[in-house]
Structure 1
Amino acid sequence: MVRTVVQDLSGMGRPVSLTSLAAQAWSRVRRIVTPQSPYRIGDAVVGDDPFKGRREGVVVFLQGTSAGVDTVQGVFFYDHRQLKKLD
């Protein structure tokens, strides 16, 4: 007997392997444990560094614990521990 209706396999979802689930879980755990900057892009901050001096600006770049602060003199990169929010 010939079937007139064929099931659409795209609606069944894609197969998931155990290694991909483990990789996703590991990346979530690693992201929680790694240190991150408490500042967000667009925050007004003051960077105080003994070598670069004290500069006011806006956060324009974040990567891990580093933050790029756009000032009048240019972009300076600070560790998040050297920054304070501008009042």
Structure 2
Amino acid sequence: MVKTHIQDLASMGRPVSPAALIAKNLARIAARVRRITAPRSPYRVGDAVVAEDPFNGRREGIVVSRRGPSVGVGTAAGIFYFDHRQLKPQE
């Protein structure tokens, strides 16, 4: 089927100002900087660790998950989540 009209290419998109492009790029850069400087756990999945928690006691296990500063430690009793500062490498 043949179209009887052709859309003007100038009206196909929204006009973008240079200020809007700069603001978008600065927001993207700021998000990367926040992600890079956020606290991260030095332990990797599969590392054997000992968790020293003053309230729950000492637990030994394997790191099964990482999300930001918290680490999931898989033990015989289940999975427990600790702050990475409460963990030490197993000797």
For 1:41 and 1:62, the matched residues in 2 are separated by 7
Q: CA deviation at 1:23?
A: 2.8
TM-score with structure 1 setting the length: 0.72
For each residue in 1:23-60, what CA deviation from the matched residue of structure 2 results, as whole angstroms up to 9, or x when unmatched? 32112110122111111111110001111111110111
Displaced runs of 4 or more, over 6 A: none
Query: What is the SS of the residue equivalent to 1:26?
Result: helix
Aligned match of 2:31: 27
**What is the number of equivalent residue pairs in this alignment?**
71
User: What residue is the counterpart of 1:66 in the other structure?
Assistant: 70
SS at 2:33 equivalent: helix
Identify unmatched segments of 5+ residues in structure 1: 1-16
- What CA deviation, in whole Å up to 9, does each residue of 1:6-30 have, x standing for no partner? xxxxxxxxxxx43442232112110
Q: Which amino acid aligns with 2:63?
A: V
**1:71 and 1:48 mapped to 2: Cα distance?**
13
> Which stretches in structure 2 are left out of the alignment for 5+ residues?
1-20
- TM-score by length of structure 2 reads 0.69
Query: Which residue of 1 is the match for residue 56 of structure 2?
Result: 52
Of 57, 65, 87, 1:83 maps to 87
